[in-house]
Amino acid sequence: MTVPGEMDAKRSDELLTDERVALPIVSSELVFKGKVWDIRREAFLYNGEEIVREFMDHTGAVAILAMDETERIRLIKQYRHPIRSREWEIPAGLLDMADEDPLEGAKRELAEEVDLEASEWHVLSDFVTTPGGNNEAIRIYLARGLTPTAEAFDREHEEADMELRWVSLDAALDAVVERRVQSPTLVVAVYAAAVARSRGYSSLAPADAPWPQRAALRSARTAAGS
């Protein structure tokens, strides 16, 4: 006789891993073509039932936690119109070029947003931002061995008046824990960096580590004809 909860108890120590699922797609339609991202409507079969969902079809993005030799991190404060706030963030950008290598995209964004280059790159974290409403996947890199770029980049629109600041990792962690900053890339990056530091940075992955989530989403986008 199986006691309720016994199976969960037996499996509690198993390695947790998200499961990729390839469902039969009945139809896939682009219902809104935006300047940056699109809205897609798809019908798919799940447990024998046809379900329709609409979601933001996103290009994917990269973000960079740039850390100097004293474990300070480079932050920017930028206006974000949907939330009517100027929020503290880490450098980040869209992977909107065809077949762009994510590491090369991260190097570009680090230079363009904070005028820095890095000699040492590792994958800090991968995450999906809002899986119930969009397919945005973000890879966060830890960049160290920082040096200034040869020249500063011109910035426009919301980036024109960005504030830049060096902040210790501990001060950033305090701001996250006390809910004073809420950018998801910053929150994930700071927590991940704090855990990595506590483990002697042994949890970092190589800069060219596979990114299965993005690969799967790009394949799905190609199959949908977008």
Cα 193 to chain centroid distance, Å, stands at 14
Query: Any catalytic annotation for residue 120?
Result: no
Three-class DSSP category at 60? coil
Helix 184-198 to helix 169-177 angle, to the nearest 10 degrees?
120
**How many C-beta atoms surround the C-beta of residue 129 within 10 A?**
16
Name the E strands within 90-161: 92-94, 116-128, 137-148
- Which residue in 69, 100, 159, 178 is the catalytic one? 159
The C-alpha angle with vertex 140 and arms to 200 and 187, in degrees rounded to 5, equals 80
Cβ pair 126, 139 in contact under 8 A: yes
Which positions are catalytic? 159
